[in-house]
Amino acid sequence: MLTHPLPDPIAFSIGPLSVHWYGLMYLAAFVQFLVLGRMRARQPHMAAAGWKPENLDDMLFYGVLGVIIGGRLGEVLFYQPGYYLSNPLQIFAVWKGGMSFHGGFIGVLLAMALWARKTGRSTVAVYDFIAPMVPLGYAAGRIGNFINAELPGRPADPSLPWAMIWPNVDAIPRHPSPIYQALVDGLLLFIIVWIYARKQRPPLAVGALFVGGYGVARFCTEYFRTPDYEVHFAGLTISAGQMLSLPMVAFGIVALFITYRRHRA
């Protein structure tokens, strides 16, 4: 039976400064955004639309603010409002983990809308440009969750080869759900969206594919993750993550239908 190693969350220290693995995973996410963004800007249809690698540095600054502020506020408002109201100073302790993807997603949408307005670009075009770079950044964040022993999975069959005991939770074999989400919501979704985005697509199609695809992937992988809380809807029990993902699925389907219908017309 595998056991979560519970590694030290601090990767290394320089004097009084401690660098956490969780922070390093976010740094890796931002670096991959720059690398993939430069590759995307050089794709013929992106270059023809006026995208240049030099656009990325300023865009990343806005994106970092959106991810951190939106992700943290999403965690506070969507998942643990009671805890953070009782411990308000913990809101700023982002190095301990606790970042909501859905909150970060909203934060990035707002940040990119501001960047688009500043640069005179179409907001839809900006969303389509950045969509393929998001999933791998998300995967890095989930690896950070795993290192921090956060987001434990639901109980698993002990015969499952990769079932894992999380000593910080209990002695029950569990699914390593952060790894599932890194692979499915992150890596697999990246491959699908990146391949789709290599050719010219109707406006908003790439962004809609990412949004809908993430919603579907997250809804499925939530079945293996211990829910933060569950809600009862139409006779069904769904987790908080699934509830927040359903609007993304609906938007992705509707947006793809509308954008292709307009494109054909």
Could you tell me the residue ranges of all domains in the chain?
2-192
Q: How confident is the model at residue 232 (pLDDT cuts 50, 70, 90)?
A: confident
Q: Which two tokens stand for residue 208?
A: 């809609």
CA 29 to chain centroid, in Å, comes to 10
Comparing CA positions, the residue from 81, 125, 79, 129 lying closest to residue 104 is 79
Say whether 142 counts as a known binding-site residue: yes
pLDDT computed for residue 15 by the predictor: 87
Which residue is listed with tokens 């720059």?
34
The answer to whether residue 95 scores a pLDDT higher than 80 is no
pLDDT of residue 167: 95
**Cα separations in angstroms, 34 against 63, 142, 235:** 11, 19, 45
Split at pLDDT 50, 70, 90, the class of 93 is confident
pTM exceeding 0.85: yes
Tell me 152's DSSP state.
Answer: P
Between residues 70 and 139, the one the model is more confident about: 139
pLDDT of residue 143: 95
pLDDT of residue 168: 93
Q: Per-residue pLDDT for 92 more than 80?
A: no
pLDDT confidence tier of residue 96, bands split at 50, 70 and 90: low
pLDDT band at residue 45 using 50, 70 and 90 as cut-offs: very high
> Residues 151-199: pLDDT tens digits?
999 999 999 999 999 999 999 999 999 999 999 999 999 999 999 999 9
pLDDT of residue 97: 61
pLDDT range class, residue 90, cuts 50, 70, 90: confident
- Identity of residue 80: Q
Task: For 250-264, give one letter per residue: b (16+ CB within 10 A) or e.
Answer: eebeebbeebeeeee
DSSP letter string, 163-218:
-EE-TTT-SSEE--HHHHHIIIIIIIHHHHHHHHTTS---TTHHHHHHHHHHHHHH
